[in-house]
Chain A
Amino acid sequence: MPKKILVSDQSKCTGCHSCEMWCSFHHSQECHPAEARLKVVPFEDKGTFVPMVCHHCREPWCLNACPVNAISRDPETNAVVISQELCVGCQACAEACPFGVIRISSKGEFLKCDLCEGSPVCVWACTRGALKYEEPSQAYLDKVTAGAVKRLEGAV
């Protein structure tokens, strides 16, 4: 099975926060964007919105930092996931993550993206294509093509 990754493109993000809403609803059946597994940071005066997502790193800082092996990689989806049963709540993962995308819920649980069993609901909710779930090679190709188009238009 090809290993897809979650890719964000801030130039396409419109700041609707649908991804956060659908993520939270999918995981808790509540409308609770504050506990979504991803975060869009708004800078509305600049008209820019930056989606911060888990990259499910090849060498995950969080997984390596966890002292009780509560974080593992799902062989099916390639997702780096936290086991709530094994987690002792030491925060090492949240401190280690360079992107800040592991958050602590109001109940004290550590929350991170689990790629929704291989079909991320945030990607479905993003009608402008700012979030994609695709193979790394495709993500690279998309990005280099977008860069080429920009250069062609003289925007770079």
Chain B
Amino acid sequence: MSHGFAGNILRLDMTAKRATTEPLPDIWCTNFLGASGINDWILWNEVPPEVEPLNPENRLIFGVGPLGGTLIPLGSRTHVTTRSPLTGIFGDGNGGGFWSSTLKFAGFDHIIVQGKADKLSYVYIDDGKVSFRDAAHLKGLDMYQTNIALKKELGQDVSVAAIGPAGENLVRFANVMFDSFRSASKGGAGCVMGSKNLKAIAVRGTKPITVAHPEEVRRIAEDLRRKLDIRLSKGIASFGETGTTFLARHYNEEGCNSVRNYQDVVFDRIDDIDAEKFVREYVQHNISCATNCPVHCAHHWHIPSGRYAGEEGSKIEYIIMDAMGMHLGVGDLGAILHHQNLVNRFGMDATQTGTGIGLLMELWQHGIINEKDTGGLRMEWGNLEAIDEAVKQIGARKGAVGELLADGTVAAAEKIGKDAIKYVCHSKGLTEVEDVRGFPAWALGYAISTRGADHLKAHSQIDKQFKRDVSIQLFGVPDAGDPTTTAYKAKSSRYHEEFESIINSLGICMMHAQSLAIKSNPKERVHMAEYANIFSQVTGLPMTKESIQQSAERNVILEHCFNARLGITRKDDTLHGRWMNEPCPGGLGKGMKVADYLDALLDEYYTERGFDVKTGKPTRQRLESLGLGSVADDLSKRGII
């Protein structure tokens, strides 16, 4: 067995209430690297296209990477993969929290959940001993209550992955949350977990994780801590202070916030919600979201005044400031924090929740819907009572708005008809709020993202931060660092799709990875070669810059193959709604629209990937070159390639 990994996969058959342990093969570790990549391989092998997302035979796969719970100070994340009930295609989400490292200390790298329990249950993993337990007493409890109840029952040192009422009620974008506040939100994993009647997985772990070369690992860990030290680097200190909330103002300056359902990209009330105000008036102190992270970018906050005065909670990401704030015309930070708490308590993706409500607000604005359609809710921009009630209805799947939005924003538009769909910006059924019209790298990234429109599958900070020197380092030319042009954006998207697969497979924090990738001092930057070395020193398995890139490419292509097997082709690798056909109303990319450049970028991207340019499908030749001949055979057998 290799080091770094715990070495075991736990399979939970909910129907039979049977737990089995399978050894994690070394060859999977080198071929797929860990968490996200190994999840992809399991999903490909165990979920054929006949298995619908809410069929008990769908798999819910948890993965923690080889660096999770180790001395390497890059965070420790859990990757959750499934066939998504929201989009019907590949789905995955990634969350922080202490569950990831605790699972490894209990002796497991992955959990595969299959089947369906006869009644609501939870699973307790106590240092490798697994028991299936009745969860009747947890039914209907929100995320925070579930976490507290299980810790009371099992001890303060357990860590809990759970679903809230939204998951139990099969809201299609329900998430899985870890220890109350950290969520794996994309992919609808909470809905799949609910469909298996699994309320929670509580873990207690006290075993060690060994590393292959302790002296060298310690040296690397010390070096990384120095690079991430809030006392030594101004950039890291500022990020440690604000988390991602600083992006609201930054994106306002660039012009990529979504304001009132994509009608604007610059928010006029930014001063009321920006990071400086948040840190000054709301933050009580910083907290850490994962084991052994030296940055501590999360916060414990407290609302000092206004209608939600006194409420407390943990962390807010930029994306929620947009989805539950600017996107809905809300310029009240207290209200945004309150609605984040509400969405968290129900356990669902804030982005899908926000875009659903945003759609209704815009339809209301144009007089396309009225009180008869909304059960009396007045869906006016910034109407806090309406937002509050809408969130509660969605989570409970009740009421006119709840029934409309609980299957997702695209499904809601289809139910409404009347051209409502043209107000939804999405790709492959997943909505996102950041406006990409003026930023070709991000637009392409959304279009090719295997889980639908999303900024974390091929996401680059190189262009958004004008890092022309990083572009020269990676591609030999500065062009990938120019945000509003198309030059080198396909190359950059291909690179970042693989880079991000490495990060999600090693099981570490994307924010750390982005910070370290674009550090001002080129000698301090951490890219593929450095991650290959870290992987080798921790696991003892051979890995080079070339082989880690190849493993990441294998993972990325597997996700594309999973989608191809479900009928996804080039026509689906696109964006919908305003982003496509309406010129960007402001910011750096004023006047740009995605339809003007996407086709050319897709041509380049498929060529880079070695896919068929016409259909966007993977080719046998490409698959065989990565050792994925069996995947090519399966696709041929089904007439896909």
Q: Which residues of A contact B (CB under 8 A)?
A: 11-12, 14-18, 21-22, 24-25, 28-35, 41-45, 47-49, 106, 125, 127-128
Contact = CB atoms under 8 A, between A and B. Distances in A.
Contact of B180 (A16, A31, A41, A44): A44
B105 A33 contact: yes
B147 A21 contact: no
A18 B293 contact: yes
A30 B209 contact: yes
A18 B225 CA distance: 11
B300 A16 contact: no
Interface stretch (B188-196, B282-290, B390-398, B498-506): B282-290
Contacts of B211: 29-31
A16 B292 contact: yes
25 contacts: A11-B285, A14-B288, A14-B296, A14-B298, A16-B290, A21-B70, A21-B292, A25-B214, A29-B211, A29-B214, A30-B209, A30-B211, A31-B71, A32-B208, A32-B209, A33-B105, A34-B206, A34-B207, A44-B179, A44-B314, A45-B144, A49-B287, A106-B206, A125-B225, A127-B294
Most central of B148, B225, B231, B300 by chain A CB within 10 Å:
B300
Contacts of A35: 206, 208
B210 interface: yes
B485 to A, nearest CB: 39
B291 A21 contact: yes
A30 B210 contact: yes
A41 B156 contact: yes
B579 interface: no
A106 B293 CA distance: 26
Contact of B285 (A17, A30, A47): A47
Nearest to B209: A31
B208 A18 contact: no
A48 B286 CA distance: 10
Contacts of B231: 127
B218 interface: yes
Interface in B203-242: 205-211, 214, 218, 225, 229-231
Contacts of B292: 16-18, 21-22
Nearest to A34: B206
Contacts of B286: 14, 128
Nearest to A30: B208
A12 B284 CA distance: 11
Nearest to A43: B156
Interface residues of B, number: 41
Contacts of A30: 208-211
Contacts of B218: 25
A44 B156 CA distance: 10
A129 to B, nearest CB: 9
Contacts of A22: 71, 292
B37 interface: no
A105 to B, nearest CB: 10
A47 B312 contact: yes
B72 to A, nearest CB: 9
Given A14-B285, A125-B294, 17 more contacts: A14-B287, A14-B296, A15-B287, A16-B290, A21-B70, A25-B71, A25-B214, A30-B208, A30-B211, A32-B207, A34-B105, A43-B156, A44-B147, A45-B148, A47-B287, A47-B300, A49-B287
B340 to A, nearest CB: 15
A127 B230 contact: yes
Chain B CB within 10 A, most for which of A15, A22, A24:
A15
Nearest to B231: A127
Nearest to A11: B285
A15 B205 CA distance: 17
Contacts of A17: 98, 288, 291-292
A44 to B, nearest CB: 6
8 closest A-B pairs by beta carbon, nearest first, are A47-B300, A16-B288, A32-B208, A34-B206, A30-B208, A14-B296, A29-B214, A31-B209
A125 B291 CA distance: 12
A33 B69 CA distance: 9
Contacts of B287: 14-15, 44, 47, 49
Contacts of A125: 225, 294
A94 B463 CA distance: 57
B181 interface: yes
Q: Which of A47, A48, A49 has the most CB of B within 10 A?
A: A47
A25 B216 CA distance: 13
Interface in B60-74: 69-71, 73
B294 A16 contact: yes
A44 B205 CA distance: 18
B422 to A, nearest CB: 43
A43 B463 CA distance: 40
A35 B105 CA distance: 11
Contacts of B73: 18
A35 B205 CA distance: 11
Nearest to B298: A14
A43 B284 CA distance: 15
B285 A127 contact: no
B126 to A, nearest CB: 13
A32 B300 CA distance: 27
B314 A15 contact: no
A29 B217 CA distance: 10
B314 A47 contact: yes
Contacts of A106: 206-207
Interface in B68-119: 69-71, 73, 98, 105
Nearest to B204: A34
B69 A44 contact: no
Contacts of A44: 147, 179-181, 287, 314
A49 B69 CA distance: 19
A16 B285 contact: no
Contacts of B293: 16, 18
Interface in B228-272: 229-231
Of A31, A34, A47, A128, the most chain B CB neighbours within 10 A belong to: A31
Contacts of A28: 208
